[in-house]
Structure 1
Amino acid sequence: MAPVTTWNTKNLGLRLGVDLASAATAGALVAPLITIIDRGIIENSSGRNTLGQSLQSQLKNLLLRPHRFLISKPFALIFALYTGTYMTANAIDTASSTLRSESADKVTSGLPKFLATSTANLSLCLYKDSQFTKLFSTHKSPRPVPPLTMLLFALRDSCTVFASFNVPPLLAPRLADRFGAGLERHVSSATAAQFLAPAAVQVVSTPLHLLGLDLYNRDGVRARERVAKVASEWGKSCLARIARIVPAFGLGGVVNARMRCGLMAGVE
């Protein structure tokens, strides 16, 4: 006789509510800074503005006219992107804990989670990038984003998603073994891994981002010129992307995970 499978469906509706609340809180927390940095990188790449001038202008707008900033299309796109990504990751964890009859705050790190979060992040991010590229380019009549640009953006985001959701659970034990109590006195190995992995992958993903933008902004340019453009912008753009990815998948990831864990303990 086959064993009876019992699913952990206790307070499932509330648990999904916790997933959404945690995702939205983290999304709202990180969206302002990421909106500013993303726009700055794109305006700098298109020649519309320098990175420094763009960041300064947007920070001024956020401080002096926060209501306009928070109801703007760029902010809404970023908020939807990260809330949707966190929610997908949370929902996969909830589905896994339900099907395997595990604790509601169980966190997974396998292939299903990577595929689901990648699909959500890629679809939302590609739409966001297509809109940002058109909104902040120098083209008077924005043209369609080339397929190769979209492919490069997709590769960039796959790297980031993998480093943000799948690497930290694998990296944390290694950090604990390597640095031991010295690390734990300052920050947990899980938190350190959540910050380090997404930041480190930007060294690889930033050139993909810059090349994709250059393909949109400049037609008929030889490969050598594109490589030179990417190389000249790589340093500051990489630092800017690290500055955006640390709150996006570092701070945001930690807030989402801790809020979800804390709230799940109350509804389980």
Structure 2
Amino acid sequence: MHIPPRVLTIAGSDSGGGAGIQADLKTMLALGVHGMSVVTAATAQNSLGVQGFWELPVEAVRQQFRSVVDDIGVQAVKTGMLASAELVETVADLLAELDVPVVVDPVGVSKHGDSLLAADALDVLRQKLLPVATVVTPNLHEVEQLTGTRVTDESEMRRAAEAVLAFGPRWVLVKGGHLSGEAADLLFDGDREHWYRSPRLDNTHTHGTGCTLASALASFLAGGDEPPRAMERAKAYLTRAIEGGFPLGGGVGPVDHGWRWRDGDRPAGGG
């Protein structure tokens, strides 16, 4: 009997279905892994923005984690919205027990500019969570939030990666999606530099891109890929998902997590 790789997402719920836990689980299903979840916060969210969020108690987060890890087990973990300093520290302590790849998406603000992380949580994220990360995946706004390093063109992305790497993750993926020109991302471990490029697509419906990429990366890591190969495959999946992004509501619609099925393709599996 085939048992797919198991991936755990620790993140917030997006009531609109485009990002957060919902995007993570859709991505994992599309890539042939078994997705599990620890919900850290509930958001009231739609295509126009985040109207409110409520973080869960620390004990609720801890118990969800224990229930999954102690019985089912995990082969990779992805973190997203953690909301508060207390939750960041709790999750970091729990992850320190595991010997599996951890992808940290350091979610600070939503696609619409709404804050999703308390200001006092940044130091805890830097000091406790980033050191347990296999790969951390900041966009350029998050790089600046974490390090104070502002990136205005592609030539500055390695310097930004070095600044994030100083906090202790094994790899840093600096996402260049906010720059002009082609969509270029840099994966760096302090020695090896890997660039990933794709054409910039003329589609404004990109809600959930960060969650989707991090979840795809975790899915391929769970299947045994090393970070450079996992990122190559994750980038290819995300590019097609962005291409298929569709309008919902009156604002920014989501990427298409299920494009494989609409193409008549089958899930690729985690490996």
* TM-score, normalised relative to structure 2: 0.28
- If asked which structure has higher relative contact order (CA below 8 Å, sep 6+), I would say 1
- More helix as a share of residues: 1
Question: Which of the two has higher C-alpha Rg?
Answer: 1
- More strand as a share of residues: 2
* TM-score, normalised relative to structure 1: 0.29
